[in-house]
A and B are shown apart, each in its own frame.
Chain A
């Protein structure tokens, strides 16, 4: 039996690496992938708590998170295609119209 805290530590590590990727990467698609990584880390914590408490509610929430992530990927990639078409670049530093 693996202790629940091990899963939570792994989830925290993956979430932290997702934040690092979000801050570091300049490519808009890779930044989007970092968001998916963070969602996955949270899913792991959900399933770990669901197993520890002996209730299935956490797993149902994971299904909802996966649905939201799939919808987010569809809309987000549509936005990325539009941005790339307008700016002719995938670098987020070239998308700075709101900057003073």
Chain B
């Protein structure tokens, strides 16, 4: 087993552990901290794949900005331990089989197509940040401009929603 594979399984285990912890924790702040663990280990996986710019953005935007926003709102609303009701116990019988069915369908799809993927995986190339920026500002320049417009609309929407009505 090569060192890269060991690092992969370490990070993948951390990510799955964080996702399971998100489900099992009953306090929202613990769930948020588990989600940060998932995001940081995913950033490690991006580094492993050679996508260093995406890894940096993942940590700065997701692990930093978005999760700080979440924790800020949790503390602002003083969210406590969630209470279980009869309906949420009923969700166990409906939700778990459906989630397993979804997992099986995706696994079957991957297993069927993995023979086509195997040769392509060997020639995985390292995409540099320079290439990425060239692509972003030439081929994808219109979607890029649209995202800046989207952020503007989101800022306006958040301000309108969160302000106290007179």
Binary contact track A11-41/B, C-beta < 8 Å → 1, others 0: 0111111111101111101101110110010
Q: Is the CB of A73 within 8 A of B82?
A: no
Residues of B within 8 A of A (CB-CB), count: 84
Main SS of chain B's interface residues?
A: helix
Chain A interface (Cβ within 8 Å of chain B)? 1-10, 12-21, 23-27, 29-30, 32-34, 36-37, 40, 43-44, 47-48, 50-57, 59-60, 62-64, 66-75, 77-82, 84, 90-91, 93
Chain B interface (Cβ within 8 Å of chain A)? 2, 4-5, 8, 12, 15-16, 19-20, 22-23, 28, 31-32, 35, 38-39, 42, 45-46, 48-51, 53-54, 57-58, 61-62, 65-66, 69-70, 73-74, 76-77, 79, 82-85, 87-88, 91-92, 94-96, 98-99, 102-103, 106-107, 110, 114, 117-118, 120-125, 127, 131-132, 135-136, 140, 143, 147, 150-151, 153-155, 157-158, 160-162
